């Protein structure tokens, strides 16, 4: 999973990025509405966390344009504007949730996971396919009920695949989710991580397989 943090405060943005990194979630940061719009056009993000008090434009205007284009990216507003009228305005503009600063990071993370579950149509806490389970809240992976240790990149890849199990995920989206705009991407980096995760799951006796759809992307499928 890769998030876009739209926040003009460098300190808050850094705290969010560090907090999500500890949960094996990668982030890109935009300090202005203009930068955010450019980044949203270039990268496929799992969700965005949006401040409203941006230096170049009110965040509600950016949110309105995103929804007017028909983009369904989950968006959680994180702002100092706490009046009930402002909360209603944010939700009516198309936000999926609204949290007021100051905030507790644990609550922010829980609200984000709830938004993602609703967006994916999965109302349970854990994502499962076959004997493989992934808990987005704890970032824990299990095969046949046994804990599995994976690298951050492998967890990010697995989460992307299991959230869209049975559907082909284009390679471009995998690249965006694992590397975004801020990290260097080697020519065969995606293939390396797919290969590592595939072999790891096979060695653990998982009943799912990562299939390569030549020229398109990847899909997680239950084989039992």
pLDDT, average across residues 139-162:
93
C-alpha 104/C-alpha 76 separation (Å) is 14
pLDDT, average across residues 151-157:
92
Q: Roughly what angle, to the nearest 10 degrees, separates helices 152-163 and 171-179?
A: 140
Domains of the chain: 2-120 (3.40.50.2300), 127-222 (1.10.10.10)
Mean pLDDT of the residues in the chain: 92
Write down the pLDDT at residue 122: 63
pLDDT, average across residues 64-92:
95
Residue 187 has pLDDT above 80, yes or no: no
Q: How confident is the model at residue 4 (pLDDT cuts 50, 70, 90)?
A: very high
For 94, phi and psi rounded to 5 degrees? 120, 5
What are the start-end ranges of the H helices in 82-170? 84-92, 105-120, 152-163
159: tokens are: 């989460």
pLDDT in tens, 29-43: 999 999 999 999 999
């Amino acid at each position: 999973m890769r998030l876009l943090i739209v926040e003009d405060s460098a300190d808050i943005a850094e705290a969010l990025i560090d907090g999500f990194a500890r949960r094996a979630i990668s982030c890109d940061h935009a300090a202005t509405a203009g930068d955010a719009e450019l980044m949203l056009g270039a990268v496929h993000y799992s969700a965005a966390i949006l401040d409203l008090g941006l230096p170049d434009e009110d965040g509600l205007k950016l949110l309105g344009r995103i929804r007017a284009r028909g983009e369904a990216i989950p968006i959680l507003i994180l702002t100092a504007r706490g009046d009930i009228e402002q909360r209603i305005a944010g939700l009516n503009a198309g936000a999926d949730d609204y949290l007021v600063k100051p905030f507790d990071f644990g609550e922010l993370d829980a609200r984000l996971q709830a938004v993602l579950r609703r967006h994916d149509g999965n109302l349970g806490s854990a994502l499962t396919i076959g004997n493989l389970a992934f808990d987005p809240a704890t970032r824990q992976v299990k095969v046949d009920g046994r804990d599995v240790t994976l690298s951050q990149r492998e967890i990010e890849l697995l989460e992307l695949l299991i959230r869209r199990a049975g559907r082909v995920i284009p390679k471009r989206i995998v690249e965006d989710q694992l590397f975004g705009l801020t990290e260097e991407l080697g020519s065969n980096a995606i293939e390396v991580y797919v290969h590592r995760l595939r072999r790891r799951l096979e060695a653990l006796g998982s009943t799912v397989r990562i299939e390569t759809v030549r020229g398109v992307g990847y899909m997680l499928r239950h084989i039992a």
